[in-house]
């Protein structure tokens, strides 16, 4: 079930020795562009046709009435409502604490205030179809709320009856979202980016999705901001040894693989006997899983056992893979955590399964995939803000930098730049300004 990669004895660079995902392999860019163009040109009519084509339901009006969101919340069992509230409060608290407040840097009479300005409108994509993901509603909406975004529009694919699961609508209500659209896939990304007759365009799009959704977000980048990096199918790397029960390592491999095809699951260990035990446990767990088909799709296509000489090489492997989720379930895990450079989220110790991060640890579970953790991180309040700088210059500050600005502008051949400071110097000498 899991393919073996034996790197024991390997001391050189790992680049090229580990299989890498092909983010565009399942979603040709040409096909994605054609779908985006169709929505851009035909608006609501294209949305309805594509929803019928891909989801198999005819949705005449994609906007879910606000009263349905409230009813969905009221219909939840108390235990489920409590669980959502706990997750909501922990996630919102984390992002509110992480949100950077305006700060002022003053030097020699020049004060620069750095002000985080939220975008006015954000689009949230919540996957559907194979499962309902109320957690993704929380993980996308709450960072935006903490950033100060006032308008949130959420798109999620309709189910086979043409509706949206009640728990997803209830989560949207809990987060104060009033716009929920029954639209999925490339057409949802295009609708949020360019707008239609009934959907206003957004400034930023956030949220994970399959390979087609991830590719579509890349295509519209520049028209809108794309929060986080390539948030595609789920991935996990588990670094473990005999200090962790083999069944715990196995179930943690399965917990991300059960999201379905397109993801990746890696076990990295320096103990071949332990690797055999974990793989046997994976087979047993998959057999018991209600999502056996989706899990097998991931494990058979991109499930790996990587054998290395020691923990240090395991860390090198993890940094080369740059996974979405990385679990360290080995002796001295905390020490190795400090050596990790490339990962969306790192879970340290046997008490930290990725599921805790997926639901309520605080940080968003919208994380970079397909190796993009090399240059990107988790969805945060920063993805919904842009920095605006307010520059206040006193006379003493002007005098301190006058000569430098003049020389730099002259060196670049920008006459008016130099003149802008020379004129002010002349006005001051004549007493026109002070």
Residues serving a catalytic function are: 324-325
CA distance 403 to 427: 16
CA distance 93 to 314: 34
Listed in sequence order, the residues at least 6 apart from 225 whose beta carbon sits closer than 8 Å to its beta carbon are 119, 203, 204, 205, 383
Q: If we measure between CA atoms, which residue out of 273, 284, 274, 276 comes closest to residue 251?
A: 284
169 neighbors 68 (Cβ within 8 angstroms):
yes
CA distance 224 to 201: 9
Listed in sequence order, the residues at least 6 apart from 126 whose beta carbon sits closer than 8 Å to its beta carbon are 133, 136, 137, 140, 154, 155, 156, 168, 207
Listed in sequence order, the residues at least 6 apart from 405 whose beta carbon sits closer than 8 Å to its beta carbon are 417, 418, 421
CA distance 16 to 176: 47
What is the total residue count of the chain? 434
In 10 A of CB 430, how many CB atoms? 8
Strands 179-182 and 151-156, by their bridges, are: parallel
Query: Packing angle between helix 415-429 and helix 395-411, nearest 10 degrees?
Result: 150
CA distance 52 to 399: 67
Backbone angles phi, psi at 411, to 5 degrees: -60, -30
């Amino acid at each position: 079930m899991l393919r073996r990669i034996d790197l024991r004895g390997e001391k050189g660079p790992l680049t090229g020795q580990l299989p890498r995902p092909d983010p565009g392999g399942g979603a040709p860019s040409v096909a994605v562009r054609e779908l985006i163009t169709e929505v851009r040109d035909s608006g609501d009519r294209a949305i309805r046709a594509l929803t019928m084509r891909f989801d198999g339901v005819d949705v005449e009006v994609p906007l879910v009435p606000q009263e349905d969101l409230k009813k969905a919340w009221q219909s939840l069992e108390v235990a489920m409502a409590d669980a959502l509230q706990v997750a909501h409060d922990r996630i919102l608290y984390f992002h509110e604490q992480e949100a950077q407040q305006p700060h002022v840097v003053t030097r020699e009479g020049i004060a620069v205030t750095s002000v985080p300005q939220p975008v006015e409108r954000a689009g949230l994509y919540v996957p559907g179809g194979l499962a309902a993901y109320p957690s993704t509603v929380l993980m996308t909406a709450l960072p935006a709320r903490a950033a100060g975004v006032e308008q949130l529009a959420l798109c999620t694919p309709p189910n086979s009856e043409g509706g949206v699961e009640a728990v997803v609508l209830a989560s949207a209500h809990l987060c104060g979202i009033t716009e929920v659209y029954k639209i999925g896939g490339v057409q949802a990304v295009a609708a949020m980016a360019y707008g239609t007759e009934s959907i206003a365009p957004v400034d930023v799009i956030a949220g994970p999705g399959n390979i087609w959704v991830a590719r579509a977000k890349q295509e519209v980048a520049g028209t809108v901001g794309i929060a986080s990096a390539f948030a595609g199918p789920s991935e996990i790397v588990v670094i473990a040894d005999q200090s962790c029960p083999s069944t715990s390592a196995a179930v943690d491999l399965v917990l991300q693989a059960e999201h379905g095809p397109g993801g990746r699951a890696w076990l990295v260990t320096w103990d071949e006997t332990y690797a055999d035990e974990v793989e046997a446990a994976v087979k047993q767990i998959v057999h018991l899983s209600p999502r056996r088909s989706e899990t097998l799709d991931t494990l058979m296509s991109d499930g790996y056992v990587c054998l290395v000489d020691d923990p240090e090489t395991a860390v090198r492997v993890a940094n080369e893979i740059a996974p979405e989720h990385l679990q360290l379930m080995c002796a001295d895990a905390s020490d190795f955590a400090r050596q990790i450079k490339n990962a969306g989220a790192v879970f340290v110790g046997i008490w930290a399964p990725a599921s805790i991060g997926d639901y309520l640890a605080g940080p968003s579970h919208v994380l970079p995939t397909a190796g993009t953790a090399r240059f990107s991180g988790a969805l945060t309040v920063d993805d919904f803000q842009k920095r605006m700088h307010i520059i206040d210059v006193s006379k003493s500050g002007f005098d301190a930098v006058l000569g430098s600005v003049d020389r730099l502008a002259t060196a670049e051949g920008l006459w008016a730049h130099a003149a802008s400071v020379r004129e002010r110097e002349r006005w001051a000498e004549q007493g026109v300004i002070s």
